[in-house]
Amino acid sequence: MKKGSTAAILKYIRPRSFPTPFCPGCGHGILLGAILRAVDELALDFSKMLFVSGIGCGGWIPSPHFHTDTLHVTHGRPVAFATGAKLFNPQLQVVVISGDGDLASIGGNHLIHAARRNVNLTVICSNNLIYGMTGGQVTPTTPRGARTLTTPAGNPEPPFDLARLVAAAGATYVARYSVWHIRPLIASIKGALQHSGFAFIEVLSTCPTHYGRRNENPMPAGMLRALKKNCVTLERARSLDPAELAGKTVIGQFVPEPAAPLATAP
């Protein structure tokens, strides 16, 4: 069986966990698959992996789907729970998967402190720019001007640049990709899983139900196309001036800076 194939990753799925709770068009299923493909391609011992997640749609990516130890915790705190498990048993490979509201808003303090400590964790933030599970409220990563349930006239606040925030806090591996950029995303997850120290990947995901619907992009395919159109690689961004970069999202590996150029997006 080909490593990383759909048939190969079914063995990591817990019985009784389908159908997934995700809405049609949600990007989290793509991320779920990408993580398991990375695990399979690296041939990691899944039974020695622990997946910790918080509250929200992103927290449901590993729990209950991943058929190994999973810890689904209180809102915002997965990084702190994961820190305890990892410090006590360094043999566990501990991965945090949660959303932007969970990790960047209520859990922002734990995120930057774990990055500062360089705890040996992999943290994957499924960033769909919105609180999905509670119905579509603004988050700290919602773009300025975007309409949400709690910013009906457009978001007046600027968002966090999560990848750069965590890099500034001291993380020793930082990358940002989207669920459209699936090959570089899987490669990056593999890099993060093999990294010794605090690794953070921001993964832009799609929420047609609560974000796209209110921002003139209600269809799943349209949201994926927008990711393709709005993302520019770090290498390309270096040759663009600020005006050309307005409204774009820079993707790539921020820390450590890659020695060779990454493969461009398909």
Partner 1 sequence: MEPSGWAKAPSVLRPGRHFLQGDEACAEGAIAAGCNYYAGYPITPASEIMEHLCRRFARMPGRVFVQMEDEIASIASVVGASWAGARAMTATSGPGLSLMLENIGYAIITETPCVVVDVQRAGPSTGQATRPGQGDVMQARWGAHGDYELIAISPWSVQEAYDETIRAFNLADRFRVPVILLMDEAVGHLRENMTVPDESPIYQRWKDVTRAPFGEAEVPPMPAFGDGASLLVTGSTHDAWGYRRTTNSQAQDQLVTRLVSKILNHGDEIERSFLHLRDDQDLDILLIAYGFTARSALAAARLARQAGVKAGLLRLTTLWPFPDEAVRHAAACAARVIVPELNRGQMLREVQRVAPQAQGYHKTNGEVFAPGEIWAAIQQELAQ
- Residues found near partner 1 in the complex (CB under 8 A): 14, 16, 47-48, 50, 52, 63-64, 67-74, 77, 80-89, 91-92, 109-110, 113
Closest to partner 1 by CB, 70 vs 155, is 70
Closest distance to partner 1 from the beta carbon of 23 (Å):
16
Closest distance to partner 1 from the beta carbon of 60 (Å):
9
Closest to partner 1 by CB, 131 vs 211, is 131
The CA distance from 27 to 208, in Å, is 9
Closest distance to partner 1 from the beta carbon of 139 (Å):
20
Q: What's the sign of the alpha-carbon dihedral 91, 104, 99, 81? A: positive
DSSP structure class, residue 131: B
Alpha-helical (H) ranges within the chain are 6-9, 28-42, 78-88, 100, 108-117, 162-168, 182-194, 220-230, 234-237, 242-245
Closest to partner 1 by CB, 28 vs 110, is 110
Q: What are phi and psi of 128, to 5 degrees?
A: -105, 10
The CA distance from 105 to 94, in Å, is 22
Closest distance to partner 1 from the beta carbon of 44 (Å):
13
Closest to partner 1 by CB, 90 vs 261, is 90
